[in-house]
Structure 1
């Protein structure tokens, strides 16, 4: 099946102001998104994620590479390609504050060439879906942050584009509204077969609604995988072992040598050892160290982690790799 969005070997550099230094914001990024997917595009600040989003939306011109939107090259056929995308971008004015909820929907529909008569049924549906029926005649500047954000997504949906790009859709929302937006996004994909690309720092949203995540760091794609598989991979790694006795200095030294990131809580009567395993077989190394002093084991728990921890671990591992002198010398 042909992807609906294809980013191919895209590069983008910036020149620092008043300096000759060139910064690689996006460095040979490639990924694909298929119709009906809901995909998270993630990355820490300065990783190149926002630049990538702006290039997909046609707001920035790439230096090298290609972006194909529903079969159209968005460099050669920019306007035609952008007819297939609607976006809600954080930091942009996505609504007119001196218009009412309904007037905003009618206005932006008109920008897409649709008359009021054509969109009345769709507006009614969207007002119900986003629970905005009671606010349809309210000025936008009088709405709560949550209602404004829901309306912005409704406006994006009204465009009837196959692809919806959402940048920080739950930023600043209260918990209840955030969960409401999550449910709505799931319905959009399931019932309407739209394709959604979400950029967010709210890892709870990513874990709840995305099937797959693409993580960018240092201008490169470091992970492109299903959320479920990443959760399973990292869940299997970390264990907390409750001990019947304290570890000796020699045991602690050996633990440090084998597991540099282990944690040891000796502030309570039953000390706890938390260790992260790179492979299932490493659990035997832990037991070998405990066996040396016949340290009793009272309980073993496999730690359950959330996607925020998975994200941080992936970024940490990538940064450790990038900063390793031996790796740097091999790449230079």
Structure 2
């Protein structure tokens, strides 16, 4: 597949003002984005994800390595390279609040060299697609947070760049608007085959929209694989075990020490252990633990997990990081 973005060994170091201590926010990060792909760029707070995003957008200069967009080095040919990417960054900095909805579309398209006439039909289509047609003559500062976010994404799409970067596209939106926006983005992905990078803590967005996920933790890439592969990897090891009685305090303590990602749920109705078995022999260790006090097992079922669970296990799982393959797709 053709690569539209190549990131090679970038790094970013910050210096604390008072102590002059150097903080390595990004360490030798490398990855690529294929043309027409929807990529999830993920990471917990403080992982280096935001710095990576800012370097991709040309808002921050890397301290090492290189970034090329459509074959153009972002350091050597910054303006030319940035013509190929548009971004909707977290927060309300993507629009002019004193302009109307349509004026925002026309203004930002004008910055990209398009006349009103050139973008008129596409602007109308986007207004209809994002359910903003009735609001086209209203000032942006009078719109709801959800409408502002939808307009910001429409502005990015109207730029007709090779790559669109969406940073937390559903942040701060209520459930209904978030669901609506996901459906709009799914339609755009399906019909227009755009190259889109999505950074989000909203895991349903990643699971529904992204082909591949890159997870950054502690300034380094820890996972680069297709979303479907990651789901399969963890799904085959996640089990729910129904017990005939509750575990003793000693058993519960031992369970959590051996399987730190396990969950133990005990009530008057049932006792359930949910556990991720990383290695084939782990099942024997689990049954040895139950056998110690004669705990009866009533049933064992494989758990269907979602991408949020995958993300948590990768970031916090310790051993799980070793299990996950590093694959360049």
Q: TM-score, normalised by structure 1?
A: 0.89
Contact 2:98 2:139 in 1 (8 A): yes
User: In structure 1, how many angstroms separate the alpha carbons of the residues matched to 2:162 and 2:126?
Assistant: 16
SS at 2:171's partner residue? coil
Aligned equivalent of 1:330: none
Runs of 4+ in 1 over 6 A off after TM superposition: 319-322
2:93 matched to 1:93? yes
Aligned equivalent of 1:151: 151
Looking at CA atoms only, which structure, 1 or 2, has the larger radius of gyration?
1
Q: Decide whether aligned partners of structure 1 residues 258 and 105 sit closer, same or farther in structure 2, where only a CA change above 3 A counts.
A: closer
Deviations 1:270-326 (A, max 9, x none): 43333321124422333344456554322222223322221111111359989xxxx
Aligned equivalent of 1:48: 48
User: In structure 2, how many angstroms separate the alpha carbons of the residues matched to 1:46 and 1:316?
Assistant: 14
Contact 2:36 2:194 in 1 (8 A): yes
TM-superposed deviation, 1:202:
1.2
SS at 1:55's partner residue? helix
Contact 1:222 1:318 in 2 (8 A): no
Q: Decide whether aligned partners of structure 1 residues 253 and 4 sit closer, same or farther in structure 2, where only a CA change above 3 A counts.
A: closer
TM-superposed deviation, 1:168:
0.8
Aligned equivalent of 2:23: 23
User: In structure 2, how many angstroms separate the alpha carbons of the residues matched to 1:254 and 1:146?
Assistant: 47
Question: RMSD between aligned alpha carbons?
Answer: 2.3
The number of residues matched between the two structures is 322
Q: TM-score, normalised by structure 2?
A: 0.90
TM-superposed deviation, 1:47:
0.9
Contact 2:262 2:276 in 1 (8 A): yes
TM-superposed deviation, 1:247:
4.6
User: In structure 2, how many angstroms separate the alpha carbons of the residues matched to 1:221 and 1:231?
Assistant: 18
User: In structure 2, how many angstroms separate the alpha carbons of the residues matched to 1:236 and 1:32?
Assistant: 28
Aligned equivalent of 1:116: 116
Q: Which stretches in structure 1 are left out of the alignment for 5+ residues? A: 323-332
User: In structure 2, how many angstroms separate the alpha carbons of the residues matched to 1:250 and 1:40?
Assistant: 41
The 5 Å alignment of 1:198-277 reads 198-247=198-247, 255=255, 258-268=258-268, 270-277=270-277
Q: Which stretches in structure 2 are left out of the alignment for 5+ residues? A: 323-329
Aligned equivalent of 1:9: 9
Q: Decide whether aligned partners of structure 1 residues 291 and 23 sit closer, same or farther in structure 2, where only a CA change above 3 A counts.
A: closer
TM-superposed deviation, 1:260:
4.8
User: In structure 2, how many angstroms separate the alpha carbons of the residues matched to 1:13 and 1:134?
Assistant: 47
